[in-house]
Structure 1
Amino acid sequence: MEILRALGSLVLILGILFWASANRRAISWSLVAKGMLIQFGLAYLILEVDSISAAFDSIGKGFVALLGFAREGSLFLFGDLVGRVDSFGYIFAFQVLPTIVFFSAITSLLFHFGILQRVVWVFAWFMKRTLKLSGAESLSAAANVFVGQTEAPLLVKPYIAGMTRSELLCLMSGGMSTIAGAVLAAYINYLGGTDEARQIFFARHLLAASVMSAPAAIIAAKILMPETEKFVDTADVKIEKQGNWLEAIAHGTGDGLKMAVNVGVMLLVFTAMIALTNALLSGAIGEWTGLNAWIASATDGRFTEFNLQAIFGITLAPLTWLMGVPWADAAAVGQLLGEKTVLNEFYAYVSMGN
């Protein structure tokens, strides 16, 4: 039954993509098949091969160790507001946002020494050989696994002006489907809290999900917008290097600060706007129409009133069930999926943590 449900969800998602395709006749089904094989292969390696699974565990532990170093910086700056969680509680602004700044500086340093470029090149070479992608979109798709959708296009900045529509969609889809290193660290920090074992657990699974999402994004992009134009077959990693490693750290810190401030204020505004919208939905509509009582009864108390979370959870529950989520959890996961898609990814992760 589980296998049939998984196959059904795969057919449904591919069917939606096919229906929305800009040019159904131009779809390269060999690329789709190869991309799916790569994704299934990655899943098998990560879940079933002990050495690969151990490697992901080690990477997860490395992330957690770096989180500890970021915490030392936060303790120096904020003191007991970070150190005494039992007294002051888990303050998001002091516990999570500094992590983004620190990891952004680390990423900039790795780029300065040419380490990330080499890793990205290996991934890009594999994607180009197997999926027959252009050089620029191979590089950007590989880079999105490690950096964010803002930084990855910078690696292929000289090629963007000449990219085809299909390449541009692939570039943006990769950024939307994977998790940037600095933001990944923030998710691990928030979901795992101060428990190191939980942090390692979330690090391993989030990292695996991000890696497996890269070929999925390519498949989706190439069905929605098949390649019908000529493209540049080769590309090199292009990034402006700083004068020395201290400048690289300073540059990365500045970028991380902008990202952290953006995350903080966006969460503030989205949380406030959602509270306002929920008050209008539950008070003006839910009470007047009786929807509040109906929703509480229909969901066995999972949702207590007519609000955005209830709308997302109820409408997306069938889709999440098809994706493999047990029906008992389908509404909860549907809520998270709706929040991520309609509102904000970080807000959805905060909801999951709560």
Structure 2
Amino acid sequence: MELLYSIFRGLIGILFLIGIAFLFSNNKKNINWRLVLSGLGIQAILAILLIKGDVLGSFFSPLGWPKEFFRWISSLFVLVLNFTTEGALFVFGDLAKAPGSENSLGFFFAFQVLPTIIFFASLMSVLYYLGIMQRIVQGMAWVMAKLMGTSGAESLSCTANIFVGQTEAPLMIKPFLKGMTKSEVLTIMTGGMATIAGGVMAAYIQILSQSFADSMGMEINEARLMFATHLLGASVMAAPAALLLSKIIFPETKIPETKGNVKVKVEKNSSNVLEAAASGASDGLSLALNVGAMLVAFIALIALVNYMLEGLGSLVGLNEILVSQYGKPLNLQLVLGLVLQFVAVGIGVPWESAVQFGSLIGSKIVLNEFVAYFEMSNLIAAKELINDKAIVMATYALCGFANFSSIAIQIGGLSPLAPERKSDFAQLGLKAVLGGTLSTLMTATLAGILY
């Protein structure tokens, strides 16, 4: 009975999200519902195979193979984190040792999380130089284009976003950007908003696994494997979600130049593997420094806003009421949580975790997903977010770059590739944030149905 109720709530949640996309559609009559249904079908199959693979495998062993393969890929992420620790130990010494390790000095974000971005960026650069990632992306994009009927360029970009960031993925389709339809442009922007880059994914695994392992008394590598599996699953499922939702918001009315053609075109900027590794490390360092600076600024700004809100709450006598009901005075997280708790409940989040879940979604949209995952880690550590289903759903829901600052990032990253389309990138920015947010919420809804 509980399973049927969970499925019912989840289906209502999916209809709710599609309804929002439909409400903001610029051409409701031309929505391709076959594409929408095929996208939902792909997501559902992926979710069942990745989340319920063990159960399926007990009935027919080949059905469990995708889950085992995914678990193997996730274990590689854990290995990458361990390799990163080796490099960080050489530079930072005991500061790089995670809590629980021998001679660890505690948790230090700068020395234990940011190095993962540097190493992963270097590793991805090598894999692209060797042509490995291009083959993986092209194969996945071909399947998606055939099943959903999307163009080759938008399928490639959305698939590439599973592994790289929102400004790197469009490099694969640079020759086609100039002639893409506006519907395709929105799709590639939404794909960037709906997923995260591999380098920061490794950082999120590190952030969440440490607090979860400490809170649950679990081995750190076990927690890493759990979050690696969920975050990787979220990115894979978000690709078809981004395609279907963007095609509801802005349906295709023209014939794309790359319809039926899926071919990766990436220029090699390195002369050998060592140069590729060094170039990737430099890019990773730049990203790590930006992430560190952003967190310092945003968390300080949140503290400033919370100081003012708490003062206002004290002045008008609101804090006593809020503390008695929610355990905390007036602050930004509580305001966002109260506003968005109904969205959380609408997609199937347990009511007792709805305010915390809504707060995290709000932080992700207004600030960014790094701040949201950091807040989620703190909630887990403080045992304020203890419902397993809510933790899993939040992991999926936050797994995307959909926030207001990403509009500027995409305009800045895409405009040099196609200067004549700059006005289109700016015009479609808010729609891309909407599509990306709905995409991650849809993957969270499917995960909630099956968890």
Q: TM-score range by the shorter chain?
A: over 0.9
AA aligned to 1:175 is G
Match of 1:198 in 2: 223
Instruction: Trace 1:104-183 onto structure 2 (pairs within 5 A).
Output: 104-183=121-200
**Aligned ranges 1:1-354 → 2 under 5 Å:** 1-49=5-53, 50-83=64-97, 85=99, 88-193=105-210, 195-233=220-258, 234-241=261-268, 242-283=270-311, 285-299=312-326, 301=327, 304-354=328-378
1-structure distance, mates of 2:247, 2:358? 26
Shift of 1:318: 1.5
Residues 161 and 90 of structure 1: is their aligned pair in 2 closer, same or farther, counting only changes over 3 Å? same
Instruction: Please identify, of 100-109 and 333-342, the stretch whose mean Cα deviation from structure 2 is larger.
Output: 333-342
Q: Cα distance, 1:253 vs. partner?
A: 1.0
Maintained 8 Å contact 2:141/2:262: no
2-side partners of 1:281 and 1:3: how far apart? Answer: 39
**Which consecutive residues of structure 2, in runs of 5 or more, have no partner in the other structure?**
54-63, 211-218, 379-451
Please give the alpha-carbon distance, in whole angstroms, between the structure 1 residues aligned to 2:95 and 2:372.
25
1:48 and 1:2, CA in 2 relative to 1: closer, same or farther beyond 3 A? closer
Per-residue displacement from partner, 1:1-20 (whole Å, max 9, x unpaired)? 32222222122111111110
**Which AA in structure 2 matches 1:130?**
L
In the alignment, the residues of structure 1 paired with residue 282 and residue 173 of structure 2 have an alpha-carbon distance, to the nearest angstrom, of 21
User: Aligned partners of 1:141, 1:88: CA distance in 2, in Å?
Assistant: 41
CA apart distance, 1:191: 1.3
- For each residue in 1:278-330, what CA deviation from the matched residue of structure 2 results, as whole angstroms up to 9, or x when unmatched? 111111x211222222222332x1xx111110011111111111212111111
Question: How far apart are the structure 1 equivalents of 2:191 and 2:318?
Answer: 39
Bigger drift between 89-98 and 46-55 goes to: 46-55
Structure 1: segments with no counterpart, 5+ residues = none
Cα deviation per residue 1:55-98 (whole Å; 9 max; x = unaligned)? 11111111101111111010000012113746532110111111
The runs of at least 4 consecutive aligned structure 1 residues that moved more than 6 Å come to: none
The RMSD of aligned alpha carbons is 1.4
TM-score (norm 1): 0.96
Please tell me the residue identity of whatever aligns with 2:332.
L
Give the counterpart letter for 1:259 in structure 2.
L
**Number of residue-to-residue matches in the alignment:** 350
Separation in structure 1 between the aligned mates of residue 333 and residue 306 of structure 2, nearest angstrom: 9
Identity of aligned residues (%): 48
Q: Structure 1, residues 161-193: CA drift from partner, whole Å, max 9, x if none?
A: 221111111111111111211111111112112
Deviation at 1:31, TM superposition (A): 0.6
The SS at the match of 1:240 is coil
